[in-house]
Structures are given as structure tokens and as C-alpha cells.
Structure 1
């Protein structure tokens, strides 16, 4: 017979394990409540102080499909209040790039439905977006690939937070292998945590026959008199009990059932989980949006990178610069015999000229998105203030007020974004560069993850990330030493010529012809000389460049300074998730304009 029709054994077991104050655990602690009674505290005990800073917020919802609302989700992610956004039933596939969803504020981690985790081709899927300043790390294991779930970790002040978003399809809630694999992942994370760390597992479990009753601490236990347990549900709850996680969501849907569950590490008092004041994009039947508050804000020192002043070549005094270069005595200021020293002299002189005639500017990050109008910014300030008040009190009146302001804001935001896109489309003829920049931004994966791995080493700041990429790219080059015999054998296959490198003459006309082929650009390599400057000031530079190239040819040496270049890591292929290992990137090199 079906185990649901004979719940007696399971009910008796859960009366023992999950009834208030009777949960069996070898690590029990006690404290006095209301100076009159004792309450068991399940270990490992986690002490939390109520921080004076704003709490961290996790938004959760079953999205019931995102494909028809991609632009709406992009707009929602671009100015969301939340530090974490977890969604199930995303229905996404590899046709939707991660850059289509998350703005610059979030790193997104996805697990779309595929052959490895489902026999169905569509539906399902989960994702979690984490604010970039929290520097999230994804935790992956090939043994968990049959699950629609994502694990991430975040280092907070003095502790780590592990978050899992998971989706169990209705037809697989009795799949023992699926449940066992999920519990194995939970226990694997539990084995690595310290006593002060915390685990959160949230998702759509599709267990409508479980009913929950509250403990005095605010945590919930399955009500044995109302719930029906099948074997897999029993194994699932056993696994969470072994990992010392307890359920906290008792916000039922319109049918009085709770399909979305949230399990967190046991502590003195359950964290606050309420209805979100408004859905991120749309309301979904049977799945109300939820908001989980964490007591303590991340207090790690995070600062936006300070942008150093840089040259504004668009405002260059090219007339003054050209005049100074024309009257400069290059013959007596460039080394006549050593090409390396001559190039160093040239770069030093040109750099000094740039400092005189090119103004500097400090580049500040854009405070507002390009489609945000003045009225939209005003509404956003009101919305943010209302959300803070609601987060602190949770009253129904503030929730209704927030919904009203949020709806007005979303309507205006959608209209502003539509006007911005129409404006970009109209510029196809007048400003095609801006149009294609917008298009490319929509279809390319841009930027780097906040954490990069190489073998067993991890880096989470700019200098260390650059060091790991440098080590990776250097490893693919082979410094091969050839013998004289090998060189002779290779040379014998090359046709003989009466010319030699030293006999090649480079004159002013060759330099002028090469410079005219450079693409106009104000971007420069490590030498700091952009192509636009070379093209506009070539009459004053041609003498010096001719000397440098002739010296290089006659000596048979390529200047060391011109071997420097900027190298950019580029994704090897189009992806739908954030890549975090250097193995998944290839390098792209930006050479110097002078040596090109």
C-alpha cells in the first residue's frame, strides 16, 4: 500500500524527533526564556547579535518562467534592493545568456534543465543572483549534476553563509536517487562548515501534504497529526535533521499549502521570513514571493575601486602638441646606436609632451543607468525608503504603500527603457557605433567573476586575479631551445634571397603610409600613445619613428619596450553561467600602436 495511507510509523517517529523541545541531538544547550522556563538549543549553537546596520535580504520566488519577461527581469536586477535573489522554475536554456538577465550589480549562477538532470526538455531550472560586492563563490560537484540546484558561499564578517536554491519537480518527489543526491550535497556542505557558519536551503519542494507547526523559537516542525509522509519525504527530513537544519516558512498560498520551503541552520531564534512586499516581476499562483532577512550585515571592508585620473585625449591641444614635436631636436635626443635605449628615449619624450598638452580627467562610475529619468530617480528614492521602513516593521499598511509605489515605479521604468531602446534604434544611421555597442552588450558575456580559480589557488581581488591569468597564459607558451642542427634544417627549407634584414630601408613615406592605416582610437597600449595622436601628430613624429625602425632593422633586434602589450581574458565560447576557472578563458592581446 501507499506509504501515505499508513502514516502511523512516520508520525510516531516525527512526534519524537520534531515535536517542540524533544528533537534528539547529541549537542543540546539550554538557556532561560522569560525567566520561567527552559528551551533546548540545538547545536552547533550560533550566537547572533542584532546589528545596528541594515540586514542582508534574500528574495525568493518560483518564477514560473522568465523567457517572456527577460527585459523586465533585466530592469528588476538593475536596481533591486536585495542582496540575494533566488528563483526556481526559470525555464531558461542556453539561448538566454547570463548577460541578458543580470546587470553590473549581480553575479548570477544558473542550473538550467537539461538531459543530465531531467527527462524533460523544457521547464524547471534554478538560479541565484548575488550582489557582486559580497564576492560569491559557486560550489560545484559532478556527483550533483542530476539535480536542479545551485550552491554558493559568501564570506561575511566572521562567518560564512552557504545558500542553496533547489527545485524538485512534482513527478520526482518520490525519486529516491534524487533525494539522496540532494541530501548528500547538504551533508557535504555541513561537513565543511565551522560552528559560526550558516546554511540556507530554499526552493520549491512540491510536498503539499506536509503541514507545519511552530516551536517557541520560531522554527517549524512537521505536524504529525495533519501531515502525510511518503518514504522519500521522510528521508529528506531525516537528512535535514542530520545536517541540523530546520524549516522556517509557514507562509501558505491561496490553497492553504506551503510548497516553497526554507531550511536554515538551527540557532536560538529563527530568522525572519515574510511575504516579500511585492513580486520582483510578476505574481505567480500558488507561490507567493518570500523575503528572508539575515540579522547581520556583511561588514567586510568593501570599497569601489578608486579610478585613477587618466588622459582625456578628446580634449587634446593637438595644434600645440604638433608644433612642439616639429621643433623638437630628435637627432640629438635619441640614442644613435642602441635601439632599446632609443625607444626608451622616444617614449619618455612623447610621454612628457602628452603631460603638457593633454588634460587629465577622473572617470567616475555612472551613478544612474542611461534610461533613468529624473522622475524615475525620484520614485526610486521613495521606493527604497519605503522598503527600508517595511523591512524594519513589516506592517500591512507599509506593505500596501510599497506595492503602490513599486507599481508606479515599474510602469515608468518600463516606459523609460522602451524609449531608450527606440532612441538607440533610431541612431543606427547617425551613430551606428553606439547602436552596435548596445547590441553587442546584449549578446556577449562581459566582465570577469569576482572569484577566479587556477588549480587549487583562488583569487578574489584584481591584482591576484591578474596574477592567476598571467600564470595560466604563460604556461601555454613553450620556451624551446633549438640546436644548431635544427636551425640549419629549418633554414634549408626557406628559399634563398640576396636581401637581408639590414639591407631593408624604411623611409618617411613608409612610416606615413603605415600610420594612415591605423584605426582612429583614443585607447592606447602600455606606452600610452593612442592611434589618434599618432595620426594627427605624425608630421612631428615621423623623423623619430624612421630612426627607430632603421636602427631596429640594422641591429636585427626588436625593442623590448615594444614587446609589451595588454592581454585580455576572453571566454572561449558563448556561455550561460559565470566562469570561475582560468581554464575556460583564452587570451586576446592589444599591441602597441607604434610597433603595429
Structure 2
């Protein structure tokens, strides 16, 4: 036993206090609950007061009202939840004791609509990454040896493994947290508001004229700066409407729209609740829209004497295509955004040329590049019915790059076929328009 514990026990004396709800067998300490938390009664100048003040400061309540076989309370349960119920356990892990009983805890969680917590997650900040280190790391890899495997899926997995290692080493990991301030608040205004709250709290505790003057000055500065920030925000929006209407309406639609799905959704007389069940329901619905088993490929005889050579994807073509990618930070299932590809275009052009060439030579599209995010977009009608949603596919940047390169290669050879099809369609449309005009003249 420590010296502090000995002094603590020696300072306690048995004193009776009337009108107490519960008496605990902790040596000469009497505990009760009020509306603010735990109340501890013990002799004056006792170390037991520290225990009571600590739990009362945290607004903790003692919820174990089941005594032991000697009608004493040795096992205490402190919590800030008023709905915690402590009872004697029926199935015991250990043998019962005279001084200690097994306990069963029940805590009710409300699944109804409550105030949601701030969404917090970690993300890679590709904008502030050390791309000098990333390019140096990727240029030091022997890609011919790493990607020299028989299975194309294994080669793609090794490629992503090296990319993820470079990202983990040279890209900072930051935490995204939803701000409680409006988007048009400046950094200076946020700082002043925090200082105003601190000064107000200080004034409430001191009630001095000096503290009130500091608080009053900060409040006036916050009010003035808030009006200035709002006027600048409105002015920037007006200017954005003329200079970049697309960006303006994008922000406007984001403010109006909401991506939140109902908590309970229906499909084919079935109900789905919770994230996993709703995702499974959308998977069933979207799977009925597309069925890849009944696809019939068109005949190779197109009716046109035309020979399409195999696409040749050189390092220069891949470099130019990556360099023209938009600087977007959004990523697909592989987690690689366009911003990262453009910043590492010199180091990634060669390994991508190896993977693209092997995929075309083997006529195999890697399984990892077939993955995509499916997002349900609400169309119209009842929001809780899944049939009123359409799916949007979000692919990774690298397979989209391959699709774009192949399109550029075969588009030139398919123009003749497309033009002939379009001419035949145009003749049909022209005849229909001529017949419509004749009918209109007759009716008139």
C-alpha cells in the first residue's frame, strides 16, 4: 500500500449522515446522486472529497444500486448516462463472492433521428505532397523486373503496391472535419470569434470592467468583420456569375441538393434499413438494369472494306495524354487522382506503357481496373423508393486513360463506317420530315 493510500485511509472516520439514499462500504465514505452528479459525504479535510469533486466535475453518476451479500456497496459504476441500468448477472463468468457480485449492464441506444456527429475522416493531401521525393522514389524502381510477371492482374497489383508505398511516404495524411462556421467566414473572423468566446467566459467569472472592455471590443470587431466578409462573398458570387457561370451554378446546386438517403428505403415490397442493407438493395436493383450474360457482339463483317490495326501506345502518347488531364483531386476505387498522375507524369509514363501494351497483347483487361464506384442519383418521385434512382459509375483515372488512348487510335478508322450509318439515318429522317410536311399541308 502506498503512503498516499495509508494517509487516505487513516484520515477517514466513521461518521453517520442522515437522509442519504445509499451507504457504501468504501471505508467511511457515503455517496449519493443529485441532479448534477455524484455527491460524496465524508469527514472534513478528508481525501475522499477529491473523489467526489472529480466525478461531480465530470457530471458522472453512480448507477450501481445492487449491494453485495453483506448489504454493502463495494463495486461502483460511474457514468454520465442516465439510462444505464445495472442488475445482478444471471450467467456468471467467475464464482460468486461474499463481497463482490457479477453485474449485468443495459444501455439503450436511440436509433431515431438525432443530431448527427461531425463527419471526420483522414485523407491524403495530394496538393501539398512532396512530388520531388515521389518522382525520385518511382524513378528508382526497376519496372521491367517488377512488371515481368505472367499474370497481368499480378503486374497491376505490384504497380499499385509501389504507388501506395510512395503515397504513404511522401503524401501528408490530414484529417477532414466539417467546420461549424459558414464557408464565407475568413480565417481572421474565425480567430476573433474564438477569442471573443474566451474573453466572455473570463468576464463571466471575474465581472471586472477591464475584462468587459476586452470582450466588448472583440464583439464589435467581430460584427464589423462579419459584415465585410459577407459583402465580399456576395460580390464574388455576382462576379462569378458573369466570369464563370458553370462554377457559379455548380456551387448553387451543391447548396440546394443533398446526398443524404432516407433511413428506410423500399424495393419490390422489401424494406431496407441501415447503410449495409440499403447498399445491398441498390445492388439488386442496379443489377437488373444491366445483364452482361446476354450480350451479343456484332458481326465482324461491317459491310465496309476496312482494316483496323492493333493500337500502338507509345510512351510519348501516354505522356501527352496524362499532361492534358484536368487537375482534379477526386479519385476512383484505386485512390489515384489526376493531380497525382500529372505531377508524376515523367516517372509513370514508362510503367503505364508496359501495362497498357501487355493488356492489349494479351487481350485481357485487368480485374482491378474493372472496379468502379456506383452512386445512386435521385430522379423524381418518392425518395424512399429505389426505382426512382439512377446509377452513376465513377471509374479510376488509369483505366479511363487507357480507354481514351484506344479511342484516339480507332476513331480515325471508324469514321467511314460511322458516316455511312449517319447518312442512311439522315435519309430516313429526311423522308419522314417530307411526309410530315405533306400531311400538314393537307390538314391546313
TM-score, length-normalised on structure 2? 0.51
2:396 alignment counterpart: 592
Separation (CA, whole Å) in 1 of partners of 2:129 and 2:177: 20
Question: 1:481, CA displacement in angstroms?
Answer: 3.8
Q: Secondary structure at the match of 1:363?
A: strand
Separation (CA, whole Å) in 2 of partners of 1:319 and 1:510: 23
Question: 1:414, CA displacement in angstroms?
Answer: 9.1
Separation (CA, whole Å) in 2 of partners of 1:374 and 1:355: 32
| 1:75-97 C-alpha deviation (Å, 9 max, x unpaired) | xxxxxxxxxxxxxxxxxxxxxxx
Question: 1:316, CA displacement in angstroms?
Answer: 0.5
Question: 1:525, CA displacement in angstroms?
Answer: 0.7
Q: Secondary structure at the match of 2:313?
A: coil
Question: 1:375, CA displacement in angstroms?
Answer: 11
Of 280, 284, 289, 1:467 maps to 280
Of 520, 529, 533, 2:340 maps to 533
| 1:311-390 → structure 2 map (5 Å cutoff) | 311-371=124-184
Question: 1:446, CA displacement in angstroms?
Answer: 2.6
Question: 1:564, CA displacement in angstroms?
Answer: 0.9
| 1:277-299 C-alpha deviation (Å, 9 max, x unpaired) | xxxxxxxxxxxxxxxxxxxx994
Question: 1:581, CA displacement in angstroms?
Answer: 1.6
User: Against the structure 1 CA distance between its residues 491 and 592, is the aligned structure 2 distance closer, same or farther, given a 3 Å change threshold?
Assistant: same
Of 481, 491, 494, 2:300 maps to 491
- Is the counterpart of residue 447 in structure 1 residue 256 in structure 2? no
User: Against the structure 1 CA distance between its residues 495 and 562, is the aligned structure 2 distance closer, same or farther, given a 3 Å change threshold?
Assistant: farther
User: Against the structure 1 CA distance between its residues 377 and 547, is the aligned structure 2 distance closer, same or farther, given a 3 Å change threshold?
Assistant: same
Structure showing greater Rg: 2
| 1:71-110 → structure 2 map (5 Å cutoff) | none
| 1:244-280 C-alpha deviation (Å, 9 max, x unpaired) | xxxxxxxxxxxxxxxxxxxxxxxxxxxxxxxxxxxxx
Separation (CA, whole Å) in 1 of partners of 2:289 and 2:303: 27
| 1:188-216 C-alpha deviation (Å, 9 max, x unpaired) | xxxxxxxxxxxxxxxxxxxxxxxxxxxxx
Separation (CA, whole Å) in 1 of partners of 2:260 and 2:349: 39
2:233 alignment counterpart: 420
Of 351, 358, 382, 1:551 maps to 358
The 8 Å contact of residues 376 and 413 in structure 1, kept in 2 or not, is answered as: no
5+ residue gaps in structure 1?
A: 1-51, 54-156, 158-296, 382-409
RMSD: 4.0
Separation (CA, whole Å) in 2 of partners of 1:591 and 1:344: 17
Of 302, 317, 325, 1:510 maps to 317
Question: 1:458, CA displacement in angstroms?
Answer: 3.4
Answer 1 or 2: higher relative contact order, Cα 8 Å, separation at least 6.
1
Question: 1:330, CA displacement in angstroms?
Answer: 0.7
The 8 Å contact of residues 452 and 582 in structure 1, kept in 2 or not, is answered as: no
Question: 1:305, CA displacement in angstroms?
Answer: 6.4
Separation (CA, whole Å) in 1 of partners of 2:175 and 2:191: 28
Separation (CA, whole Å) in 2 of partners of 1:419 and 1:513: 40
1:132 alignment counterpart: none
Question: 1:555, CA displacement in angstroms?
Answer: 0.6
Separation (CA, whole Å) in 1 of partners of 2:351 and 2:303: 34
More helix by percentage: 2
The 8 Å contact of residues 337 and 551 in structure 1, kept in 2 or not, is answered as: no
Separation (CA, whole Å) in 2 of partners of 1:305 and 1:371: 19
User: Against the structure 1 CA distance between its residues 465 and 416, is the aligned structure 2 distance closer, same or farther, given a 3 Å change threshold?
Assistant: farther
Of 292, 299, 321, 1:479 maps to 292
The 8 Å contact of residues 569 and 588 in structure 1, kept in 2 or not, is answered as: yes
| 1:195-234 → structure 2 map (5 Å cutoff) | none
1:579 alignment counterpart: 383
The 8 Å contact of residues 265 and 273 in structure 2, kept in 1 or not, is answered as: no
5+ residue gaps in structure 2?
A: 1-34, 37-82, 84-107, 198-222, 401-444
| 1:115-136 C-alpha deviation (Å, 9 max, x unpaired) | xxxxxxxxxxxxxxxxxxxxxx
1:103 alignment counterpart: none
Separation (CA, whole Å) in 2 of partners of 1:561 and 1:496: 36
User: How many equivalent pairs are there?
Assistant: 268
The 8 Å contact of residues 265 and 272 in structure 2, kept in 1 or not, is answered as: yes
Question: 1:583, CA displacement in angstroms?
Answer: 1.2
The 8 Å contact of residues 451 and 458 in structure 1, kept in 2 or not, is answered as: no
Q: Secondary structure at the match of 1:520?
A: coil
